Structure 1
């Protein structure tokens, strides 16, 4: 009998509890949150196509916690025009910021790879193969196998071009 009374009491409490609104369950509820978990919800928000909410979450997480993973995501949104106007300069600035982080976590290495490719291709920045090579080597040292492949393609491409010296003049 005690169990039945306790169960009935628990059921009554559950009925009396406030109902969570649908807006509290949506990703928009995390835009103004001060909790770090919101950064994970930003990723999910972008994957569901709510790019405006994702952008706001990404920007806040980057400002509050210098989140490199979200720097990469936001940069890719700016490169592709997903929910924001295409802006290769902003994309490159975010990749550079991520690449310049002092640690060697995998996301920093990934940002170094993307920064190196932006430099190699001149996406949002002036093309600079020498600097691109340095960043790609750092990304490779950090475990980014894509950097190894990109460096090999750069080397093959360089073999088909006439040699140049550091002043961009043709070598003798």
Structure 2
């Protein structure tokens, strides 16, 4: 959560023109869709939060394709899980989180993907219920420092 807040504050501090050379309206999130700069992945979050779902989805999909961005996988999974801006697709959300859980990234987002994927397995959201696998993924996330995973495991009967 702290990473997200810092990222959003940074985005708005530097303004919407950082990180791209594209032409067009430099104040729109669509401006970042075709950028070849990895910072654009952070703008996907901001676009989603202001309701520009199309730009957010396009940014996240491109970040996944170009850089295997686990950050983008998590946020795109959330979009498909909630069905805000797109038809709800729990299977697609689960597949993105599974992919993120299996991807090691330097920023540590794969630990968060492990946590979220573990929850999906326990709840059977977009995947068949598999309590054993869900606990294993939560334990991996907890071992990597995800406090929410530790708390969830401790709260289980």
TM-score of the superposed pair, with normalisation by structure 1: 0.74
1:85 aligns with 2:84: no
TM-aligned CA deviation for residue 106 of structure 1: 2.6
Equivalences, count? 135
Which of 45, 48, 56 is residue 47 of structure 2 equivalent to? Answer: 45
Task: Name 1:34's counterpart in structure 2.
Answer: 36
The structure number with the bigger radius of gyration is 1
Q: How does 1:1-172 map to 2 (within 5 A)?
A: 23-103=25-105, 105-154=107-156, 156=157
Deviation at residue 46 of structure 1 after TM alignment? 1.0
| Structure 1 ranges of 4+ moved more than 2 A | 102-106
Q: Distance in 2 between matches of 1:112 and 1:104?
A: 15
For residues 25 and 97 of structure 2, the distance between their equivalents in structure 1, rounded to whole angstroms, comes to 33
TM-score by length of 2: 0.81
Verify the 8 A CA contact 1:104 1:142 in the aligned structure 2.
no
Equivalent pair of 1:75/1:94 in contact (CA under 8 Å): yes
SS at match of 1:23: coil
Tell me how far apart the structure 2 counterparts of residues 100 and 22 of structure 1 sit (CA, whole Å). Answer: 37
Q: Identify unmatched segments of 5+ residues in structure 2.
A: 1-22
Asked if structure 1 preserves the Cα contact closer than 8 Å seen for 2:81 and 2:89, the reply is yes
What is the deviation of 1:59?
0.3
CA distance in 2, matches of 1:140, 1:69: 18
Worse overlay, 130-139 or 42-51: 42-51
Q: 2:120 & 2:71 partners in 1: Cα distance?
A: 17
User: Kindly tell me: are residues 113 and 104 of structure 1, through their superposed partners in 2, closer, same or farther at Cα, counting changes over 3 Å?
Assistant: farther
